[in-house]
Structure 1
């Protein structure tokens, strides 16, 4: 049984998973002759209610995944949060834990009255795209200048 814990993004456990995530993306991009730009997030963007960072712990107490949401827009009517750094260690994929993380982050966004959840990804991450589509996300227009992204998704929470 896996469980989700919120942790400060600068916590050593969270930081270790982010390092793995960024390293895996660097390798994946290198195989495509593309450069990946790693940017460790500032703690403030994942501090409630601006956002939250979570770590997925497996039944044996090992940290096996992570992800976060951060508020990127609030104009009074629309409150938008962005999913960031959703990652599972390769040996744990296919167990439904990516969906568990994504559903937890969506629940947290709804708790903060979010009206929309957005994310970006790279076209080479087909399994991730499948997860996002199955969770109700649809392709949308580019909403940021992330140099690592080639696809943008949105989900209405209304």
Structure 2
């Protein structure tokens, strides 16, 4: 992977400084209300949980330090905007919910935020508004993808098997004939010298890594590997993660001296076939008799990918 250039780093930092100033993140009276952005965002997140939320849940959702979150919640409680109690399902957890005053403040916050966003867009022509909102969607997608890591794991690990179970359930619903889990790779096929298994993890600050995709690589014959079970969680599709996984599998094949990789796919997986072709795979005759295969692909690998 090419290193990040200093110009790219400078561009991202420059945008961060401009954007945070432009939307008022640095203002201790965010949107003209008597509180900073952190407290305003916490009120909003509590509001999004209709029946309240535990501090643990909020910490995971926002990626905040436990002590900082606790101090903010207590400050809001002192102002009469939230009430805290023991969680009814677990007395080890603290639950927080909005008071009527808190709900009124969030409603006003939403009104002001909407007016502020409309005011920003008002200065642009309709085509420019579409360009800006499209660019923001692209930025959000790419920033999320940047936060996902693809890691080599043992083929028998709980995360590997959980991803394969999810993969099997997914394609069982898509294949007209269903899917038999006995077709999944065995741990010994994708571990050690025999092959490799990758899991994609999504992390946010303060949360446990969540498996969001997987891919398997196994040895077919000397110098030739086979890619199996490239899968992405529905919540992470259309980010470009499948290509990231495919790249990791190809890189691992090269590291092992395997200069050819092959794979097969089902007729209904049209998006998978399109991705493989876009990534340099060419369709070939059947190289194996596989009950779920209708198309077979091969790619010759170089150090340039």
TM-score of the superposed pair, with normalisation by structure 1 = 0.90
- Partner in structure 1 of residue 214 of structure 2: 66
Instruction: State the alpha-carbon separation in 2 of the partners of residues 149 and 107 from structure 1.
Output: 24
Over the aligned positions, Cα root-mean-square deviation in angstroms equals: 1.2
More divergent stretch after superposition (40-49 vs 82-91) = 40-49
The answer to whether structure 1 residue 16 and structure 2 residue 162 are counterparts is yes
Aligned to 2:254: 110
Distance 1:35 1:121 in 2: 14
- Higher relative helix content: 2
Q: What is the CA–CA distance in structure 2 between the aligned matches of 1:122 and 1:15, rounded to whole Å?
A: 22
For the 8 Å contact 2:281–2:297, the answer to whether it is kept is: yes
Aligned residue among 237, 241, 245 for 1:93: 237
Deviation digits for residues 45-85 of structure 1 (CA, Å, limit 9, x no counterpart)? 111322100100013321100011001011xxxx1000011
> Hey, what does 1:3 align to over in structure 2?
149
Q: Between Structure 1 and Structure 2, how many residues are aligned? A: 151
Give the match for residue 124 of structure 1. Answer: 268
Deviation at 1:36, TM superposition (A): 2.1
Between the aligned partners of 1:40 and 1:139, the Cα distance in structure 2 is 23
Unaligned runs of 5+ in 2: 1-146
- Asked if the contact 2:171–2:178 (Cα under 8 Å) also holds between the matched residues in 1, the reply is no
